[in-house]
A and B are shown apart, each in its own frame.
Chain A
Amino acid sequence: MMTTRVKNEILLTISTYLDDRLSGKEKEEFEAHLSSDRETREMLESLRAVKLALSQAPRRTAPRNFTLTQEIARKIKRNAGVMPVFRFVSATAAVTAMLLFAFSYLFNPITAAAPMAKSAQENGIRRSAFEVNGQPVIITWADPYSSIGGMGGGGGGDVDAKSAESFSLESLAPAESAPVAEAAPAALPPELQAESPVLDAELPSITGSGPILGVAPSSADEESWDPSSSEKLPFIQMLDPWKIAGLAFLTVAILCGMGAILAGKKK
């Protein structure tokens, strides 16, 4: 069973033999192979017939003369003069536009701030290292005995007795005005836990979801920060001069490219 590759090689040899383009040695070898292989002989004859048929195909004469008139020749020369200019301008403008976009990326204050953003991300990772057992560090800013502060909320089921007790322990940590960082309930020392029941009794019971400590409630006169405010910048302010120049050059490149195509098509 012949592989496709062998078949293709034999076909190539037959075809080249037909045109008498095999070297002396190749020709001898092929003719020896021909005498012993019927399939190759048949293939040779059928390809010879195809070659003959194609060479007998009738020739046509041109239906008209394709000579150029003075007017057409002038037009072609004029377009031939314009086209290279369009091509050159188009190519140059395209390269300039690419360079400008590259500069825009390198020197843009937003993209250049990428390393700072990375640093901030690393800080975030470091901060998370303070978390105990996956719980965030709890920071109390005010007198914990007066009320339960924070902006608790969020969904969730009722707090069970155990978690409520845990909460009171956290909240009733040493009453100081300065912020105190405490570990999550699981990390509290046992002696502190032993003192907590007295204080626990004076606290109102908590139902609902567990509190989430965070930013203190903002007063009405405080100016709130809208994280999405940067997205509301007008489009033009988001473009730096590099980008504007790049867009201008890109437009020139496209227009000149179209001009070159049109000049090439004009007869």
Chain B
Amino acid sequence: MDEQALIPDSQQGDLNAFNRLVLAYQDLAFNIAYRMLGDEARAEECTQEAFFSAYRHLGSYRGGSFKAWVLRMVTNACYDELRRRKRRPVIPLEPLNDTDEEIESPAWLASSDPSPEEVVHLKELDTAIDHCLSTLLPDFRSVVILVDVQNMEYEEVSSILKSPLGTIKSRLARARQKMRDCLQGFEELLPSEYRHEQEGK
């Protein structure tokens, strides 16, 4: 794919050229949205919204990394969704037990720390990561997702989030520390290197 050729074509109204760019970035965009929101349906909506927004603002693209430009739309869409969610918090349904009966007073839902019951349910590392990411503030979450989950460079992340390099570094350090504290509750799911380290203490 010749990205540099597709961009001007898209700006001149070539929808096929734009759609080829969409196909190139949709998986990455969806993954970031999913990690930011922890919800597949919402992530799908935000990814779609981000590509709509990219198409709408193609005229304002002034060169530089197109990937960073598109991913900025994605993170902005996610921030908007998180703000909406904060304004209108969703009340979770009463969880069901093994016999499909509602569990009364599920106080553990309110806690950000994993309770023993929660740990049992969070059998996969993926779920544990989602849980711990959800405990971070959005600004910290986006940095750790882009650097550690998506393996991006500081400079690229700085360009996507429009934040100085120093801010990216400090947010990343604090986010990693928080993630460490949270993931200690899911020790058995973590890579063996981590377990050995904990056992050696």
Contacts and interface: CB of A to CB of B under 8 A. Distances in A.
B129 interface: yes
Given A11-B177, A12-B170, A47-B177, A53 B194 contact: yes
B156 to A, nearest CB: 13
B56 A79 contact: yes
Nearest to B41: A63
A70 B18 CA distance: 11
Interface stretch (B99-107, B115-123, B147-155): B147-155
B191 A53 contact: yes
Contacts of A59: 27, 31
Interface string A47-82: 111111111111111111111101011001101100
Contact of A16 (B40, B173, B183): B173
Given A60-B30, A62-B47, A73-B55, A54 B144 contact: yes
Nearest to A79: B56
Given A62-B47, A63-B30, A68 B22 contact: yes
Contact of B26 (A45, A47, A65): A65
Nearest to A48: B193
B126 interface: yes
Nearest to B186: A53
Contacts of B197: 42, 45-46, 49
Contacts of A72: 52
Interface residues of A, number: 42
B31 A67 contact: no
B200 to A, nearest CB: 9
B6 to A, nearest CB: 13
A21 interface: yes
B51 A52 contact: no
Contacts of A73: 15, 18, 55
Interface string B122-134: 0001100100000
A15 interface: yes
Interface string B31-69: 100110000100010011101100111000000000000
B76 interface: no
B201 interface: yes
Nearest to B19: A67
B83 interface: no
Given A46-B197, A50-B180, A76-B52, 6 more contacts: A12-B169, A15-B172, A47-B180, A54-B179, A77-B56, A80-B56
Interface of A: 8, 11-12, 14-16, 18-19, 21, 42, 45-68, 70, 72-73, 76-77, 79-80, 267
29 contacts: A8-B173, A14-B173, A15-B169, A16-B169, A19-B154, A47-B180, A49-B197, A50-B148, A50-B176, A50-B179, A50-B194, A53-B191, A54-B144, A54-B179, A55-B148, A55-B151, A57-B35, A60-B27, A60-B30, A60-B31, A62-B26, A62-B29, A62-B30, A63-B44, A65-B26, A66-B30, A67-B22, A68-B55, A267-B52
Interface of B: 15, 18-19, 22-23, 26-27, 29-31, 34-35, 40, 44, 47-49, 51-52, 55-57, 125-126, 129, 144, 147-149, 151, 154, 169-170, 172-174, 176-177, 179-180, 183, 190-191, 193-194, 197-198, 201
